[in-house]
Amino acid sequence: MARSALVLGAGIMGLSTAWALRRRGWDVEVVDQDPVPNPRGASCDHHRLIRHAYGGAAGYMRMVDPAHAAWDLLWRDLGETHYVETGVLALASARGTGWMTESRVALTAHGMPPADLDAAAIAARFPMFDPAGIAEGFHLPRGGVLLAERILAALVRRCAERGVAFRRARVTEADPERGWLHLDTGEAVAADMLVLAAGPWGPRLLPGLAGRVAASRQIVLYLEPPPALRGAWADAPMLLDKGTTGVGFYAVPPVAGTPLKLGDHRFSLSGNPEAEPREASAAERDGVLALAAGRLRDLGAYRVLGARACYYDVEPEERFILAPLGAHGVVMSGFSGHGFKFGALLGLAMARALGDPDLAAALPAWAAGQAPPPPGLLADLA
């Protein structure tokens, strides 16, 4: 008889795992409190970035090649591709910030040495950036934009076609020891295995995460470039701007009919995804504009189309938590603002691990970026 799984959360982690479990023959039901794709979820936006440049986090850099392979597997299964390759431009306002140097070292060891660019070369190639204040930069041709909302919608469709059930309800309590979810309808539902992928709601729902994972309110801005710079942006790489401190902001170019987006790399480490307004305040919006002000030429000429808040689930060392929780449960958490790119990969890995105790034992260290994958974990990508 097929084994059964209840997946709490229809973000990229829950949906990818549901998709992968169903491929392996599990009976799967996904439970979410909101309509799916869920605009309040951490996964739901026009875009999410995938790139190898990862500072000193070489374990995650090495997971990016299998992550691309996992997306390719999903595109084949869907019969459509929701990825646009843009390349990566990393800039810093001071020389030798740890992130730039560590990225160069790790990328070179990985066989992907980035091309160094000075301010003059950047000005010539990318006229939307002001060369004044650029201390160093590099470019990588690989990397790009995952069209997140379209991926979520396609996964929901594909899962439903394959027989995954979807239930709209709020989980009031999870009992991973017994494999039960208690719902706000008063019902309790049970399965052989619970997959708890509650995103930034996780720390409030699962006592084991509180103190280890924090919800973090983050602001993004959508912009329309002025006419003179639209051509430059149409063909632009993603921008990882490390400022003077190695943190800074990022820009997502306007690909495939989506708007240009700016986001803040800094963790706010505060906020409640359930209770707070999703519109950004004027002060929050201006905070992101201030980060970009020295870098984007003519920033005042850009039209702000909108500004909204989204939430990360931050683990102090930005390490993912894929771990057992009780005899009949696993948790997927701690994605710290960089999990989406690994969604398909982590779903496939989780589905393999749930059928194999040796893989399950090795999963947490690999997912935390601290160990290579155990043999067989990524067999779907062979």
Q: Which residues bind ligand FAD (CB under 6 A)?
A: 8-14, 31-34, 38, 41-43, 48-49, 170-171, 197-201, 205, 218, 220, 263, 310-312, 335, 337-341
Bridge-based pairing of strands 27-32 and 188-190 is unpaired
Instruction: Provide the minimum distance between the beta carbon of 177 and ligand FAD in the complex, in angstroms, as a whole number.
Output: 18
Q: Which is nearer to ligand FAD, 31 or 363 (CB)?
A: 31
Instruction: Provide the minimum distance between the beta carbon of 216 and ligand FAD in the complex, in angstroms, as a whole number.
Output: 8
Say which residue the tokens 């003077």 belong to. 244
CA distances from 62 to 341, 370, 372 (A): 13, 11, 9
Cβ burial of 204 (10 Å; 0-12, 13-18, 19+) is middle
Q: Would you say 312 and 216 are in contact if contact means Cβ atoms under 8 Å apart? A: yes
Q: Which is nearer to ligand FAD, 33 or 97 (CB)?
A: 33
Instruction: Provide the minimum distance between the beta carbon of 152 and ligand FAD in the complex, in angstroms, as a whole number.
Output: 8
Q: Kindly provide the b/e burial profile for residues 246-270, where b requires at least 16 CB atoms within 10 angstroms of the residue's own CB.
A: bebbbbbbbbeebbbbbbbbbbbee
Q: Which is nearer to ligand FAD, 55 or 297 (CB)?
A: 55
Q: Kindly provide the b/e burial profile for residues 177-189, where b requires at least 16 CB atoms within 10 angstroms of the residue's own CB.
A: eebbbbbeeeeeb
Q: Compute the distance between CA of residue 146 and CA of residue 100 in angstroms, rounded to an integer.
A: 23
In sequence order, the β-bridge partners of residue 321 are: 333
CA-closest candidate to residue 279, choices 222, 338, 199: 222
Q: Which is nearer to ligand FAD, 41 or 59 (CB)?
A: 41
Q: Which is nearer to ligand FAD, 179 or 297 (CB)?
A: 179
Instruction: Provide the minimum distance between the beta carbon of 132 and ligand FAD in the complex, in angstroms, as a whole number.
Output: 27
Q: Which is nearer to ligand FAD, 34 or 80 (CB)?
A: 34
Write the secondary structure of 123-148 as one string of H (helix), E (strand) and C (coil): HHHCCCECCCCCCEEEEECCCEEECH
Instruction: Provide the minimum distance between the beta carbon of 261 and ligand FAD in the complex, in angstroms, as a whole number.
Output: 9
Give all strands of the β-sheet with 180-183 in edge-to-edge order: 171-175, 180-183, 188-190
Instruction: Provide the minimum distance between the beta carbon of 51 and ligand FAD in the complex, in angstroms, as a whole number.
Output: 8
**Secondary element (H or E) of residue 68:** helix 58-78
Instruction: Provide the minimum distance between the beta carbon of 318 and ligand FAD in the complex, in angstroms, as a whole number.
Output: 10
The token duo for 101 is 């140097």
Instruction: Provide the minimum distance between the beta carbon of 341 and ligand FAD in the complex, in angstroms, as a whole number.
Output: 3
* Residues contacting 23, CB < 8 A, separation 6+: 162, 351, 380
Q: Which is nearer to ligand FAD, 57 or 297 (CB)?
A: 57
First-to-final CA distance of the chain = 27
Instruction: Provide the minimum distance between the beta carbon of 121 and ligand FAD in the complex, in angstroms, as a whole number.
Output: 25
Output the CA torsion 236→240→241→244 (10° steps): -150
Q: Which is nearer to ligand FAD, 220 or 296 (CB)?
A: 220
Q: Which is nearer to ligand FAD, 297 or 314 (CB)?
A: 314
Q: Which is nearer to ligand FAD, 197 or 360 (CB)?
A: 197
Instruction: Provide the minimum distance between the beta carbon of 117 and ligand FAD in the complex, in angstroms, as a whole number.
Output: 22
